[in-house]
Structure 1
Amino acid sequence: MRQLLIQVPSGCGKTVLQKAQACQGTNLAQWQTMGDDPQDMVLVHVSNQRVESLLGALQDLPKLNITLLPQGVMALHPPADQAAEQVTQVEERSPIEIFLAGLQSVGSWKGFLSYAALAGVVVWIGLFTNTNYLLVAAMLIAPFAGPAMNTAIASARGDRHLIGRSVLRYFTALLVTIAVAALLSLVFQQQIATPLMLDNSQISAVAVLLPVAAGAAGAINLVQSERSSLVSGTATGMLVAASLAPPAGIIGMSIAIGRWDMVVNGVFLLLLQLSGINLSAAIFFRAFGLSTKGARYQRGKRGVFPVALGVSAIAIGALLTWQLTNPPSLQRSSRAQRANAEVQTVIQQFPQVELVESTVRFTRSNIPGQNTLLSEVYVQRQPDANASDAAIQTELTQAIQSRLLDQGFDVTPLVSINVLEAPTSSN
């Protein structure tokens, strides 16, 4: 439930009360200000879902001033024994409140760009020193979630002006983060990619699911009342930034060291993120009532929403086509998982050994003309095995390489087999 303080010329307060009662407002109060130009002040408590209806009903009153308190309130009223039911009637935020909050968040550039620069510093330190928790810290302070969600709000509202401003802020923040990371790599004379850069630059075939889930989660969080949301805004903002801050840092650092393959991967992720978030979040916002026209909002255009969704869907389709038709460069993470499953299948067919551990990963070696897939396998020799360690290593290596090539992984598999023996028991 929301609290509104409504100021109208003297004599119009009764009209406000009548319209508030028609919108099922509760705990209503009216008083008159003193002075040369007395005004009627009306205090209204109304359901979240009826805020925009009330604003629309009051729109024609002269010199109308409204103060909307964005925090939820508990309006208790008779009968007293229904207090529990009254406070548990928690509803989603009104569409006008969601929209105005989005507009309010695009005001300050100085603080916005400062956070983007600081995120670049923190993500660079994390990637340069191979410190995972610093990547989490960079996700917390990266300001990418705001413009990404505002783009979705603007798409649902059909506001081309807000779409332009939000996309501009999105890419400006990314460029600042990229520039800071690149500058730090140049200043500290970085020459090669760090292991954490290599790990985070690899893309999975299911990477599109993260921005789609992030957009839906962000929309739900913004729509839900603060008293009914089970997840904090910080958590959903971090989810949005989860696949933005590290790629932005990797792009900057990769530019500095000339690793253009990693730059391409980072750009792919950034474009996929914005498209996926806008597609899912705009659909959720529209489903929760954001439309092109509303109280105190008339600049929405009907055709903008389907066009924005169409552009996002086409962008996702183009990016996925690029990803699926250029294996394995944009599918390294998921292909490594599949390759590891094939390796373990091969080992199960050899009764001479038992699998201890196997790891499969793509390397970023600069060997021209090949996609290097490195497989490190540890097996334990069985007591009844007659073959030598060298023979087992050779046979397993050939079997694994043949299996990976036959399955069409389009890689150069390099296999390292380590044959281990359990200690003999002493009597």
Structure 2
Amino acid sequence: MRQLIIQVPQGHGKAVLDIANSHNGANLAQLAAKGSDEAIDVVIVHVSNREVEGFLEQLQDLPKVHITLIPTGVMALQPPASEAPQQVVNVEERSPIEIFLSGLQSVGSWRGFLAYAAVAGFVVWIGLYTNTAYLLVAAMLIAPFAGPAMNTAIATARGDRQLLGRSLLRYFTALAVTIATAWLLSLILRQEIPTSLMLESSQVSTVAVLLPLAAGAAGALNLVQSERSSLVSGAATGMLVAASLAPPAGIVGMASALGRWDMVISGLFLLLLQLCGINFSASLLFRLYGLSTQGTRYQRGKKSVFRSALVMTVIALAGLLTWQFSNSPNLERSSRAQRANAEVQKAVKQVGFAQLVESNVRFTRANIEGQNTLLSVVYVQRLPEVTESSEEIRDRLTQAIQTHLLKQGFNVTPLVDVNVLETPANKP
């Protein structure tokens, strides 16, 4: 439930009360007061979230109406006291006008916004440079990418070209500041090779698109739900939106300084994929919850802008996914390595000379021109009945694994290191 304070010229307070009653207002009060230049009526109204927009629309017909909307939930209790529990459990979604106005408020100050983007660049650089994973989580909390991404979705749902342009500008400006910060730090401290965490974080999975779709839906749900209707904090959903934005931004900056353009490409791919995926799922959810191109105190939305923005998002998303799956394995390395590991285990089992102890398959840090290097380190234990030497077993398994991986069409150069482990000579 929301509280509104309405100021109207004296004599119009009764009209406000009538409108509030038609919207099931609770705990209504009218006060006589003195305004800056005339006598006024002040009316305090409590209405449910879903009634706010309709209530504001009807107030528009009153002369010189001033409205103060308090954007926090209130509990309007009424007699009998025994019904208090039932009166406070009816928690509703925010009204569309609240969602839109909160989005407009968040595109204000640039100084603090850019400062957070720069600090996020520092933190993500330290995390990637020192292989400290928890610092990447800290960077996700600091990075101010969630606000512009969600405002882009609000602007798309509303068909607001002005807000859409401002949101995209803030999104790419924040990314540029974070990237530039990481790039500058790598140059100043003379970083020469990518770290293992950089390499791991730069690898893209075939299901990478699912994260921004889920993040966009979670972010939109957090904005439309009343603050008392969910146990999930805004910081948590904001971190989810920024989860795959801060690390790729840092990687783009650091890899640019190192001249590792393959990592730069994968990072830029992820950044664009996040924006498109978040905008697609969040804008559709906003429309589902009532955001439209026209509303109370909002007349600049256009259906053509909504349709165009949504179509362009879908086209961009489809183009990115087409690029991803047609450029294998560069933008599918995480998933390819996992699949290749399963194929390595199959190959060892088919040869039959030894039992698999452990296998590790990954794309290497080395950037060898003309090949996608896939390193497989395999540990096996010879079967009791096998009499061949360790060298023979290693050679047979190496050849079998390489041949099997090449036949599977992974488009890689498999480098295989087989280690034959021996059991203790005298087991108790």
How would you bin the TM-score normalised by the shorter chain?
over 0.9
Is the aligned partner of 1:414 residue 2:415? yes
Cα deviations across residues 312-333 of structure 1 (Å, max 9, x unaligned)? 1000111111111111111111
Query: Which residue in the other structure is 1:12 paired with?
Result: 12
1:25-424 matches, within 5 Å, as: 25-34=25-34, 37-424=38-425
Query: C-alpha deviations, 1:228-271, integer Å up to 9, x for none?
Result: 12311111111111111011001111111111111111111111
Give how far 1:192 is off: 1.1
Contact 2:351 2:400 in 1 (8 A): no
Residue 366 of structure 1: how far off its partner (Å): 2.6
Shift of 1:423: 2.1
Q: Quote the Cα distance in structure 2 between the aligned partners of 1:213 and 1:86.
A: 33
Q: Which ranges of structure 1 fall in alignment gaps of 5 or more residues? A: none
Partner SS, residue 83 of structure 1: helix
Query: Do 2:196 and 2:365's aligned partners in 1 also have CA atoms closer than 8 Å?
Result: no
Task: Please identify, of 208-217 and 166-175, the stretch whose mean Cα deviation from structure 2 is larger.
Answer: 208-217
SS state of the match for residue 376, structure 1?
A: strand
1:423 & 1:71 partners in 2: Cα distance?
Answer: 70
Task: Give, in whole Å, the separation in 1 of the partners of 2:349 and 2:11.
Answer: 87
* Alpha-carbon distance between aligned partners in 2 of 1:328 and 1:109, rounded to the nearest angstrom: 40
Distance 1:344 1:367 in 2: 26
Of 82-91 and 361-370, deviating more is: 361-370
Structure 2's unaligned 5+ residue stretches are none
Cα distance per residue 1:15-46 (max 9 Å; x no partner): 00000000011110110114662211111110
Q: Give the counterpart letter for 2:46 in structure 1.
A: H
**Offset at 1:14?**
0.4
One-letter code of the match for 2:23? C
Measure the CA separation in 2 of the matches of 1:123 and 1:168.
Answer: 22
Partner of 1:2: 2
Whichever residue aligns with residue 266 of structure 2, its letter is: N
Q: CA deviation digits over 1:275-318, x for unaligned, max 9?
A: 11100000000000001111111110011111111101000111
Q: For residue 364 of structure 1, report the CA deviation from its aligned partner.
A: 3.0
SS at match of 2:295: coil
Give the share of equivalent positions with the same residue, in percent.
Answer: 69
What is the TM-score normalised by the length of structure 1?
0.98
Aligned partner of residue 374 in structure 1, secondary structure: strand
The letter of the residue matching 1:251 is V
**What letter corresponds to residue 241 of structure 1 in structure 2?**
A
Paired with 2:159 and 2:231, the residues of 1 have a C-alpha distance of 29
Equivalent position SS for 1:303: helix
Shift of the 426–182 alpha-carbon distance from structure 1 to 2, 3 Å rule, reads closer
The one-letter amino acid paired with 1:19 is I
> What's the offset of the Cα at 1:426?
4.8
My pick for the range that moved more, 81-90 or 33-42, is 33-42
Deviates more, 1:395-404 or 1:165-174: 395-404
Question: Could you report, residue by residue, the CA deviation over 1:124-181 in whole angstroms, capped at 9, with x for unpaired residues?
Answer: 0111111111111000000000000000001001100000000000000000000000
The code of the aligned residue for 2:165 comes to: G
Q: Find the residue that maps to 2:303 and give its secondary structure.
A: coil
**Match of 2:85, as an amino acid?**
A
- For these two proteins, the number of residue pairs brought into alignment is 427
Please report how far the alpha carbon of residue 84 of structure 1 lies from its aligned counterpart in structure 2 after TM superposition: 1.5
Offset, 1:348: 2.0
What root-mean-square deviation, in Å, do the aligned CA atoms of Structure 1 and Structure 2 show?
A: 1.1
1:349 Cα offset (Å): 2.3
Task: After superposing the two structures, state which structure 1 stretch, 415-424 or 314-323, moved more.
Answer: 415-424
Which amino acid is the alignment partner of residue 299 of structure 2? Answer: Q
Equivalent position amino acid for 1:236 in 2: T
- After superposing the two structures, state which structure 1 stretch, 281-290 or 378-387, moved more: 378-387
User: What is the identity, as a one-letter code, of the residue corresponding to 1:153?
Assistant: I
Partner deviation per Cα, 1:211-239 (whole Å, 9 max, x = no partner): 11110110011111110123111111111
Counterpart-to-counterpart distance in 2, 1:364 and 1:130: 14
